[in-house]
């Protein structure tokens, strides 16, 4: 067989070999077989010496064409095989990503603390400071300095836990008002979130619950300002359209005093069980700081005026999440707490 025919045979052989190559390792073997130092092409080219110059030129050209052809084909095939192998590797790594994740589960906020923090944040962003005080309080701070003298019937408004050390568990966050005014000079704008205690136990009353207290003291603070601040607050919590009404009430430490109702969030004012058919829900107590309180903390009531407010957090949380029994809030049953995913 002449060399030309040999070369063409090589090409045919190569094509058939390539056709049957299914992986990169075989491909490499083919590469060595045809293009290696001892490869088919090389040995064919070695035998060129026996040819005439003319023939050598012609055969050389063909040989180089075939060599180029083989190289190019190998390259294409290699890429193809690489892509195929990658695809296979990816396939082997398949995992059903709808399987449950293997990170720890989510932590749930407590609905009361979430509400308390949310409300505190609203006032903080209005420029109020956050103050705190102890939960074991003197009767002085809890009552007397708030214009609730001993033997006053107003002490009946809050059923008090008395302690073996002559103190009480604070019945409201209002003593923090006193503590703050004794420490700071006006202007004062503060809130005091915290735990408070009353001797009460039924589906809507817990012996321990949470309140937030607010106090603003400055020159020329008026009842209308009180209405303004509370309006902003209530609209932030309950939405822009919430109906609000102020009713005269009585707290010894404020004068005038008011209770604030919002339109029932359950029945939208039509009347239902939650609002006892009145269409209104009592939400907080407030008023202008009584001069007696200012006198107790050495602030001149002629120069300064102020307003104060206080609200129970459990009630707001219960309304918001439609919780019917307050005791659920303190059982820490995961079946209960895990219902409040995604709150503050």
Rounded to 10°, the helix 53-92/24-35 angle is 170
Q: State which residue, 39 or 175, has the beta carbon closest to another protein.
A: 175
CB of 229 to another protein, least distance (A): 7
Q: List Cα–Cα distances, 166 to 27, 46, 137, 176, in angstroms.
A: 94, 115, 9, 19
Structure tokens belonging to residue 58: 């012609």
Quick one: what does residue 28 bind among another protein, Zn ion, none, with the CB cut-off 5 to 8 Å set by partner type? Answer: none
Q: Which of residues 173-192 bind another protein (CB under 8 A)?
A: 179, 182-184, 187-189
- Nearest 5°: CA angle at 128, between 230 and 119? 55
Tell me if 242 contacts Zn ion by CB under 5 A. no
Beta bridge pairs of residue 306: 217
Cβ pair 106, 341 in contact under 8 A: yes
CB of 272 to Zn ion, least distance (A): 3
Beta bridge pairs of residue 246: 260
Cβ pair 130, 192 in contact under 8 A: yes
Give the residue, chosen from 215, 262, 264, 326, that forms a contact with Zn ion under the rule CB under 5 A. 264
Q: Which of residues 255-294 bind another protein (CB under 8 A)?
A: 255-259, 276, 278, 288, 290-291
Tell me if 17 contacts another protein by CB under 8 A. no
Which of the ranges 161-169, 175-183, 266-274, 287-295 carries the binding residues for Zn ion, by CB under 5 A? 266-274
Task: Give the torsion sign (CA, 226, 227, 231, 234).
Answer: positive
Q: Which of residues 98-127 bind another protein (CB under 8 A)?
A: 99-110, 112-113, 117, 120, 124, 126-127
CB of 88 to another protein, least distance (A): 14
- Judged by the rule CB under 5 A, the positions of this chain that interact with Zn ion are 264, 266-267, 272, 274-275
């Amino acid at each position: 067989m002449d060399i030309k025919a040999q070369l063409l045979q090589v090409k045919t052989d190569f094509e058939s070999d390539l056709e049957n190559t299914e992986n990169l390792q075989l491909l490499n073997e083919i590469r060595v077989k045809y293009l290696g130092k001892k490869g088919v092409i090389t040995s064919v080219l070695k035998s060129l010496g026996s040819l005439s110059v003319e023939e050598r030129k012609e055969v050389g050209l063909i040989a180089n064409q075939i060599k180029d052809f083989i190289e190019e084909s190998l390259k294409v095939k290699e890429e193809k095989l690489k892509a195929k192998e990658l695809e296979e590797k990816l396939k082997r790594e398949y995992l059903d990503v709808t399987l449950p994740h293997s990170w720890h589960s989510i932590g749930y906020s407590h609905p009361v603390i979430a509400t308390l923090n949310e409300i505190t944040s609203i006032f903080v962003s209005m420029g109020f400071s956050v103050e705190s005080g102890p939960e074991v309080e003197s009767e002085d701070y809890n009552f007397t300095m708030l214009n609730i003298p001993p033997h006053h019937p107003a002490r009946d408004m809050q059923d008090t836990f008395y302690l073996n050390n002559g103190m009480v568990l604070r019945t409201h966050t209002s003593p923090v008002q006193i503590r703050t005014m004794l420490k700071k000079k006006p202007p004062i704008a503060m809130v005091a979130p915290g735990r408070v205690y009353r001797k009460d136990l039924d589906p809507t009353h817990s012996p321990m619950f949470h309140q937030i207290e607010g106090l603003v003291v400055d020159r020329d603070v008026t009842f209308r300002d009180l209405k303004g601040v509370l309006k902003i607050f209530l609209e932030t919590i309950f939405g822009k359209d919430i109906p609000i009404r102020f009713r005269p009430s009585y707290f010894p430490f404020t004068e005038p005093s008011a209770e604030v109702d919002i339109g029932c969030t359950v029945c939208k004012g039509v009347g239902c069980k939650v609002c006892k058919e009145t269409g209104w829900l009592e939400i907080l107590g407030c008023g202008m700081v009584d001069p007696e309180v200012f006198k107790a903390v050495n602030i001149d009531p002629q120069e300064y005026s102020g307003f104060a407010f206080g609200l129970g957090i459990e009630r707001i949380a219960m309304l918001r999440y439609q919780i019917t029994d307050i005791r659920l809030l303190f059982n820490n049953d995961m079946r209960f707490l895990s219902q409040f995913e995604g709150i503050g």
